[in-house]
């Protein structure tokens, strides 16, 4: 890696914007997406930012953004290009196919793209904030048989390897992985930049290829069936206690102590 700058593939999922209040469809088959603001998945912004910083440090020389989904994903990819990706690949799906798209199918597509693109590194978000699956990165690593460093909060290059600090339940863990590898970006990895107006303009001219899952021989039919989607139970109002003694009595009565 020290000798050769990397080619980085970054997963860019189009998701309902994090600030939107999610509404469940009346028939419980999913959530309302029509007329709802969508954005680049926040963890993918972090993944993209990390790739751009690697390019700025000359550790990487080419960043390819890839999104699997309907035509509107091209807007998402333009955002990624405006941030600093060099080129984009839109793997085109119908709206209906996107609704039932699952991490295994995305992982199969992304691993084929990684092979075709001769990527040295794949960076994905730790999870997409719509389905919160947290599976795609791990599955890409398994399919490619590449090392994986998930939940990354710091990535540095040491000789010809990547040293990755990971956020784990007990705190932090640091591992070293050889490339090619898969990294998934956690919240503290960096603070993504905003695209500037000149860069938004420049992004319009950057190359974007369109492909389909069949170009990669990937069957995207769902393996999991969604039985029902429902709102979480509404939270009951809390109550105030006068002092610590009353709190302890209440907790004891409730069996919590």
Told to check if 43 binds ligand AMP by CB under 6 A, we report yes
Contact of 13 with 217, CB cutoff 8 Å: no
Told to check if 62 binds ligand AMP by CB under 6 A, we report no
Q: Smallest distance from the beta carbon of 136 to ligand AMP, in angstroms?
A: 3
The correct pick among 33, 74, 100, 134 for binding ligand AMP (CB under 6 A) is: 134
Contact of 45 with 218, CB cutoff 8 Å: no
Q: Smallest distance from the beta carbon of 68 to ligand AMP, in angstroms?
A: 4
Q: Smallest distance from the beta carbon of 207 to ligand AMP, in angstroms?
A: 18
CA–CA separation, 142 and 41 (whole Å): 23
CA–CA separation, 52 and 46 (whole Å): 10
Told to check if 135 binds ligand AMP by CB under 6 A, we report yes
Helices (H), 117-243: 136-144, 197-203
Closer CB to ligand AMP, 20 or 233, in the complex: 20
Contact partners, residue 65, CB within 8 Å, separation at least 6: 10, 12, 48, 77, 80, 81, 85, 87, 88, 89
Closer CB to ligand AMP, 103 or 180, in the complex: 103
Told to check if 127 binds ligand AMP by CB under 6 A, we report yes
Q: Which stretch binds ligand AMP (CB under 6 A): 19-27, 50-58, 65-73, 149-157?
A: 65-73
């Amino acid at each position: 890696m020290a000798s050769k700058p990397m080619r980085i593939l970054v997963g860019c999922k189009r998701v309902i914007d994090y600030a939107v209040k999610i509404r469940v469809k009346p028939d419980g088959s999913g959530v309302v997406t029509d007329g709802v603001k969508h954005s680049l998945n926040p963890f993918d912004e972090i993944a993209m930012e990390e790739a751009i910083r690697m390019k700025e440090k000359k550790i990487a020389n080419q960043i390819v953004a890839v999104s699997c989904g309907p035509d509107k994903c091209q807007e998402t990819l333009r955002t990624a290009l405006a941030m600093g990706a060099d080129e984009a690949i839109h793997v085109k799906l119908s709206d209906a196919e996107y609704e039932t798209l699952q991490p295994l199918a995305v992982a199969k597509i992304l691993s084929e793209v990684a092979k075709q693109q001769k990527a040295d590194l794949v960076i994905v978000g730790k999870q997409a904030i719509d389905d919160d699956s947290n599976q795609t990165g791990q599955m890409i690593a398994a399919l490619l048989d590449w090392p994986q460093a998930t939940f990354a909060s710091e990535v540095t290059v040491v000789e010809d390897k990547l040293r990755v600090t990971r956020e784990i339940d007990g705190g932090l863990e640091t591992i070293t992985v050889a490339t090619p590898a898969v990294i998934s970006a956690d919240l503290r990895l960096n603070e993504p930049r905003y695209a500037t107006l000149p860069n938004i303009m420049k992004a319009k001219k950057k190359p974007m290829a369109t492909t389909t899952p069949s170009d990669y021989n990937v069957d995207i039919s769902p393996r999991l069936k969604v039985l029902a989607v429902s709102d979480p139970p509404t939270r009951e109002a809390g109550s105030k206690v006068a002092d610590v003694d009353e709190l302890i009595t209440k907790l004891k009565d409730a069996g919590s102590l």
